[in-house]
Structure 1
Amino acid sequence: MQTFHLDTLLQDGQTHSAPYYEFLRSRDMSVGVYHLAAGRTDTQGVHAEDVLFYVVRGAASMRVGDDQIEVSAGSIVHVPKGVAPRFSAVHSDIDVLVVFAPAESAPTIEIRQSV
């Protein structure tokens, strides 16, 4: 068992140079926090895994494939593998909990041990 505190993870994630901070990885899933400052460009592309985005703080426009939606704190968005997600306009600093299933195949930035 591992336990984490979301506020601590978000704070830790904001101190890294990359916007995505992975803190948990197993064979079947990986989890991280994604931080984008207002006005910043989202550079993520198509993922080979299903992705679940849970917006913890902030607000943005999000493009998922051909759909454009508005997301804010409390929004949960499932993006099937092979469909491109992108925050197209970050209205206010946004923090997002991101779950990949199975584990993301992209290289790991950092793995955090239990808190």
Structure 2
Amino acid sequence: MKIIEEAGAFQPGWAEHFRSADLSIGTYAIPAGATDPQTPHTEDEIYVITAGRGRLTTPSATVDVSPGTVIFVPAGEEHRFTGVTENLTALVIFGPAEYTRATPAAQ
């Protein structure tokens, strides 16, 4: 067992907290009004919104997000947070671990 105490604290950007071969978990935080620069990942991911408000936009849909929202984004799907009106914090779970499937140039 491992307690991941540092997960979920608002600190703008990405912070990985745990990694194994099968998954990784971290916190992704975006200040209100900021632009989300992320590009598609080579691994599946789950976002658990813990604080803030905004939207998650993909080519096929845009959904409002707030604390308690849980979203699955498949590997390779374009997505980004938009319209962040309150500092947004999400726990992010990658399966397998982030960059496991990436080529060295993509990291």
**Structure 1, unpaired ranges of 5+:** 108-115
Shift of 1:4: 1.8
Q: Which whole-Å CA distance do the structure 1 matches of 2:41 and 2:67 have between them?
A: 23
The CA deviation string for residues 16-69 of structure 1, in whole angstroms up to 9 with x for no partner, is: xx6000000000001000111000110111110000000000010110232111
Post-superposition shift, 1:78?
0.2
Corresponding position: 1:9 with 2:7 = yes
Partner SS state of residue 7, structure 2: helix
- What is the root-mean-square deviation in Å for CA atoms of aligned residues? 1.7
* TM-score, normalised relative to structure 1: 0.81
Number of residue pairs matched by the alignment: 101
Q: 1:89 aligns with which of 83, 87, 94?
A: 83
**Among the aligned pairs, what percent are the same residue?**
35
Unaligned runs of 5+ in 2: none
